[in-house]
Structure 1
Amino acid sequence: MNEKPSDPGSFIVELFKMPQTLFAPIGAAADPAPKAQDLAQWTSVAQRMQMLWFDFQREQIAANAQKMPSMLGDPGNWLGIMQGWVKALPLSSPDTQKKMWEDSLALWEGVLGQYGIGPKAGQAGEGAPDLPLKDRRFADPKWRDQPFYALVHQTYLMLAEQVMAMVDALETNDPARTEQLRFAARTLVEALSPAHFPLTNPLVVEKTLATRGENLVSGMEHLLGDLQRGQLTHVDPEAFKLGENIATTPGKVVHQTPLYQLIQYSPTTDKVLEVPLVIFPPWINRFYILDLSPQKSFIRWAVEQGLTVFVVSWKSADESMADVVWDDYIRAQIEAIDTVRERLGVKSVHTIGYCVAGTTLAATLALMARRGEAKKVKSATFFTAQVDFENSGELKVFIDDKQLASLDRLSEQTGYLDGRYMAATFNLLRGNDLIWNYVVKNYLLGEDYPAFDLLHWNGDVTNLPAKWHKAYLKDLYRDNKLVVPDAMIADGTPIDLTRIETPAYIQAGREDHIAPAASVWKLMHHLRGPKTFLLAGSGHIAGVVNPPSARKYQYWTNEAPADTFDQFIAGATESPGSWWPHWIEWIRACDDAELAAKGKRVPGGKGDTAIEDAPGSYVKAR
């Protein structure tokens, strides 16, 4: 692209003289115009789409124009950020405009030359053109079959690179502001991809012609359905039923409070480890991420390893939980631990805390240590959990005064944050994969929804207590108080993580964008007991939910002392497949005493009253 283009004026004139050549596939003539008898079909498509829209508007008016969450989150604040970003960029600079124009001409000449068009027509070779800019969104050959679509997506990729480079070059003197601008720029650039517009996406054009517009009718139905729900649909909503084909591991609800249900799973081995396991999943999601299909279920696998497994199923927030705060979740974790100890007559339990529940587990352990109750927990495992939020990843771009004020507005009438807003936030972090990919598939191509358990869980949102959520973002993400000894108090007890001497197993995901591995590593600096750190392949979810039978990914360990995450990586040993077997070996090394799987080790057995069958009613509440 640094090569000097030929005269711009003559090139543009020549370009506009050959529309048929631009739209023609390689070696083929342009498609003929639609036949007259097709006009009735296209008219019918237009009329049906219009009626769908009118019906949707009438329903909204009849519902008193009830405000629904946006599928892309709260756009108001981001519009302001984007406006500031556009003003900050040197787009109006003559030097910038001159460079963008010259780079564009050089790119166009080079791309079209490979199709035998323009001043560099001699560059055309045999076979598919080798275009300079690559991106998996444009991997389909149809993006290269016609010069027009090649030119469109190559120009987009070039401009996207230049825009992001401008953002990186800005000097804001505020790292948080820089990250916000970078996120806003990336979000805007992703949204403007030519793949998201019917006339500039060759796959959509081809599908529209092949179905005679029926894909657009189906797409409109999908779009309006999502607008009514206030949430982007990823999978067939009828494909999965809790307790039938997901969350099917047999068990019973053995304890219940207004905040959570405690589920105990039925043993599948004659003997079990004496020390039971209590799992605390994050309350920002449903617990069954650890109990998807039987082949993917961590819970089922743990039971098969001889563990007596308990899982906390948190209640999705409603108006009765308006005053719930972090202290309540810490008290709930302590209560669950004591309930299991009393129920089974054991001195201690193993614990797992996933994501935000792992952060809370660390606070719980610190509180128990302060109270002289540390021995109630034999070990603590942390799945992708952070305690030091200084470098906590892209979620920090959502935490400033404007964002926190918007949380107040969204929850002021109910006292809780609608889970659809949180889901939209996480979707924005992976916009191409979790938003725009489905905009193309669902709305433009009109494809049927697939059946995918992980994405079903991703869309099964959970409401959050607003008071807790806002305090959590301010005290931990913004002010990073948890790692300051005694800066936070829970249930009347100061929290000092350095008092924790419980053996800990810390798992992080190499590609985790929610809890970056380097940030998770910092937990190693604050705990004083024996610690094992393991880096798993993949990210926040797939890095955790990786059963041995899948034979996917890998993990890294390092037995040598390491003061930093980089030192750990430098000396790490890679092992193929799931890290779960490594973890169960660690659990058994903590305590391998066994006993018969009888009595209350079998929930709902003789003499044991259970509340209901797993997965319980809280996980089904909406």
Structure 2
Amino acid sequence: MTDTDPFTNLYAGPTQLARAMFGPMAELAKTGAMGAVSVKPEDAQHWAEVGTKLQTMWFEFATEQAKSAPVGLPYLDPSRWMALAESWYSQMPVADPQRQKQLWEEGFALWETVLGAYGIGPKAGEKVDDLPRTDPRFANEKWKTHPAFALIHQTYLMLAERIEGMVDEIQGLPDDKREQLRFTTRAIIEAASPANFPMLNPVVLEKTIETRGENLVKGMEHLLADLKRGQLSHTDASAFKLGENIAVTPGKVVYETELFQLIQYSPTTEETLEVPLVIFPPWINRFYILDLNPKKSFVRWAVEQGVTVFMVSWKSADAGMKDVVWDDYVRAQIEAIDHIRERLSVPHVHAIGYCVAGTTLAATLALLHRRGEESKVKSATFFTAQVDFENAGDLLHFIDDGQLATIQTLSPEGYLDGRYMAATFNMLRGTDLIWNYVINNYMLGEDYPAFDLLHWNGDVTNLPAKWHQYYLRDLYRDNKLVQADAMTIDGTPIDLGQVKTPTYVQAGREDHIAPAESVWRITDHFAGPVRFVLAGSGHIAGVVNPPEAGKYQYWINEDEPRDLEAFKKGAVEHKGSWWPDWIDWLRARDAATVRADGKRDPGRKGDKVIENAPGRYVMTR
């Protein structure tokens, strides 16, 4: 596998991407056309040099890459999605002559309206407060200052609306295929935006003239660097260092296995809650999303509330983990719980599971209940975690038999390169996480921002291939976790209906990875008391929302709503972070406190620890 695989194939191959982005500009530069726009004929030589430089940079990169044969990323390759949709598109109403006539008439009316706003055509002089359609991609005034660019983006938005609407009009298409077609259509439409093409983007054209093409040279440098590392860059990675300006809450690694390290954080209060807290973050990402910096850190905040906090830091998969399956992660959670209980001489712990680790925590609870050991967990909190995958969102488009087989071929050494998962998640929000950066980084040549959350988002982890296959097949595709005794963990059948542990469930209103409708379903399956909280924002910002920030809001419904819609109708909105509501709920489970000394303060005299937080595992790549 070469370092260019994920990114190269995601964008239809480096040659196509570079030609689409830089080819026309390079040719214009070589002919001196850009110099003509700047009204300085003597600049023609400069523009020719810019064009030659761009072509040379690309040629050198292509020559270097030709020495190795990329494996490819077929399940994210746009050509695969186009082939999948080809037969569906032939059924779209756009093929109907009457619909074509209607589209033409609507387009002609739109052009008359847009041109009329500029004093052109039969509607010239009519009052037009604004253009008919708006979209954040075309918010810059340069899209409106010239009628040509106004026509381009307004026509694009009109066609995008109509094409997306036609997906619902295809007859006889199964619901799952219709949703897959809707996802595919949206992805293609996003890629086709005129904002993504330099010659159609007035912001890029103006920047190119202003910088005399230096933005294109810098953009090409960014593009080639990303192709070499095999991943789209969102931020300046050199701006962050673990343990120095991110993941800095003081603590010690007090236990480790081949699968995880266990961090215990140092107390900042004289007393702490007697029942400690263990946090299980997803192994799809690094744990420090909950410890980005002192102002954003959930870990720091919880410690300051008088909680003894432990954090699991999962090991990024390598060839030695080729046989790791879901049972191993459930056993690891129980092992961490048991170690904490023994270390602090306590009968139970509070537990938090985030995303996939929350799904696993649900299985852990079911296993403990079936074995009569449920008292080990005093309470469970779930951050944007799903147990019922019937309505699991756009990720369901990646789990048909063909794609599962393809994914399996991408893991020849027993683990899935984390860049594949990063590319998949980026596709779920293509405009925000792909094309926005293509424009800013590659076309405008802007410097990367130093943004800790984006740095974490790009700090990928590898996944055990067997676990990944089982997870997609048994949970996403077959939804077995919510079927009583349909799954066996560590030799024991499990049933979520047996779980009576007091539970706090947080969902993000705008979550595109674990939709709130899907997270809600946990309330349908657990038998114990559940407090459901709907937080503003999405999968990350909805969780990482410290009270000091004063951002967003959350909703609580103290009644017993039957579903999420009923919850929303009767919910009371509260401004700011939901964290204070959670800590009040946690204290209500057990308010007893103890002195924060002895092994409550890791690394003190006589306490054998392994190393300082954040530990080695989070630093392995």
- One fold, TM greater than 0.5? yes
| Contact 1:419 1:461 (8 Å CA) reproduced | yes
> How far apart are residue 171 of structure 1 and its match?
3.0
Residue in structure 2 matched with residue 203 of structure 1 by the alignment: 203
Contact in 2 for aligned 1:69/1:420 (Cα 8 Å): no
Q: 1:49 is matched with which residue?
A: 54
Is 2:393 the partner of 1:393?
yes
33 and 333 in structure 1: CA distance in 2 versus 1, 3 angstrom threshold? closer
| SS state at 1:122 partner | coil
1:395-436: CA deviation from partner (whole Å, max 9, x where unpaired): 11111111101111111x211111111111111111110001
Distance 1:143 1:313 in 2: 47
**Residues 354 and 384 in structure 1, CA contact (< 8 A), matched pair in contact too:** yes
2:95 corresponds, among 86, 92, 97, to 92
TM-fit CA distance, 1:485: 0.5
1:79 maps to what in 2?
82
Aligned mates of 1:56, 1:86 — CA distance in 2: 37
Unpaired runs of at least 5, structure 2: 1-35
Contact 2:92 2:169 in 1 (8 A): no
- Structure 1 distance, partners of 2:183, 2:217, is 33
Aligned AA (1:55): E
Q: Which residue of 2 aligns with 1:312?
A: 312
State the SS of the aligned residue for 2:241: coil
Within a 5 Å distance, the mapping from 1:10-409 to structure 2 comes to 34-62=39-67, 64-67=68-71, 73-75=76-78, 77-123=80-126, 130-409=130-409
Please name the residue that 1:18 is paired with: none
The answer for the alignment partner of 2:429 in structure 1 is: 430
Q: Against the structure 1 CA distance between its residues 593 and 205, is the aligned structure 2 distance closer, same or farther, given a 3 Å change threshold?
A: same
In the aligned structure 1, how far is the partner of 2:544 from the partner of 2:127? 48
Shift of 1:74: 4.0
Aligned AA (2:308) = T
Q: Could you tell me whether the CA contact under 8 Å between 2:93 and 2:169 is conserved in 1?
A: no
Q: Which moved more, 1:417-426 or 1:84-93?
A: 84-93
* Paired amino acid for 2:85: M
Is 2:562 the counterpart of 1:563? Answer: yes
Deviation at 1:75, TM superposition (A): 3.7
1:520 maps to 2:519: yes
Residue identity opposite 2:506 in structure 1: Q
Q: Return closer, same or farther for 1:142/1:319 CA change in 2, 3 Å cut-off.
A: same
Give me the whole-angstrom Cα distance separating, in 2, the residues matched to 1:425 and 1:460: 14
SS in 1 for 2:480: coil
Hey, what's the Cα distance between the residues in 2 that align with 1:161 and 1:61?
41
1:581 partnered with 2:584: no
| 1:228 partner SS | helix
Shift of 1:377: 0.4
Q: Give SS of 1:48's match.
A: helix
Deviation at 1:244, TM superposition (A): 0.8
Q: Which amino acid aligns with 1:152?
A: I
Distance in 1, Cα, partners of 2:546 & 2:558: 24
Counterparts of 1:181 and 1:39 in 2: how far apart (Å)? 47
1:129-174 CA-to-partner distances (Å, cap 9, x unmatched) read: 6100111111111110010100000000000001001112223441
The number of aligned residues is 586
* 1:59 shift after superposition: 2.1
Q: Spell out structure 1 runs of 4+ moving beyond 6 A.
A: none
| 1:177 partner letter | K
Distance 2:275 2:596 in 1: 12
Q: Structure 1: which amino acid aligns with 2:446?
A: E
Q: Which TM-score applies when normalising by structure 1?
A: 0.92
CA contact (8 A) 1:295 1:547 kept: yes
Instruction: State whether residues 507 and 533 of structure 2, in contact with CA within 8 Å, keep that contact through their aligned partners in structure 1.
Output: yes
Aligned to 1:417: 416
Q: How do residues 525-544 of structure 1 correspond to structure 2 at under 5 angstroms?
A: 525-544=524-543
Q: In the alignment, is the contact (CA less than 8 A) between 2:93 and 2:170 conserved in 1? A: no
The Cα offsets for residues 551-607 of structure 1, whole Å up to 9 and x where unpaired, read as 000001111122221221111111000000000000100011111111111111111
Alignment correspondent of 2:614:
615
What's the CA shift for 1:517?
Answer: 1.0
Aligned partner letter, 1:272: T
Q: Per-residue deviation at 1:79?
A: 3.0
| Cα deviation, residue 446, structure 1 | 0.5
Contact persistence 2:283–2:461 (CA under 8 A): yes
How many Å separate the matches in 1 of 2:354 and 2:278? 11
- Give yes or no for contact 1:77–1:402 (8 Å, CA) kept in 2: no
- Distance in 1, matches of 2:464 and 2:79, equals 22
Amino acid at match of 1:186: R
Q: Which residue of 2 aligns with 1:451?
A: 450
Residue 118 of structure 1 aligns with an amino acid whose one-letter code is: G
Q: Confirm or deny: 8 A CA contact 2:215 2:444 kept in the other structure.
A: yes
Q: Which amino acid aligns with 1:452?
A: F
Q: Kindly report the root-mean-square deviation, in angstroms, between the aligned alpha carbons of the 2 structures.
A: 1.4
One-letter code of the match for 2:368? M
Tell me, in whole angstroms, the C-alpha distance in 1 between the residues paired with 2:612 and 2:297.
Answer: 17
How many angstroms does 1:87 deviate by? 2.5
Mind listing any 5+ residue stretches in structure 1 that lack a counterpart?
A: 1-30
Query: Does structure 2 conserve the Cα–Cα contact (< 8 Å) formed by 1:68 and 1:229?
Result: no
Quickly say closer, same or farther: Cα 1:69–1:619, change in 2 above 3 A: farther
1:83-126 C-alpha deviation (Å, 9 max, x unpaired): 2343232333211221111111111111001101112223266x
Q: Deviations over 1:279-321 (max 9, x none)?
A: 0001111111101011001011111111110011111111111
More deviation in 563-572 or 503-512?
563-572
Structure 1 residue 77, shift from structure 2 partner: 3.2
Percent identity over the alignment is 66
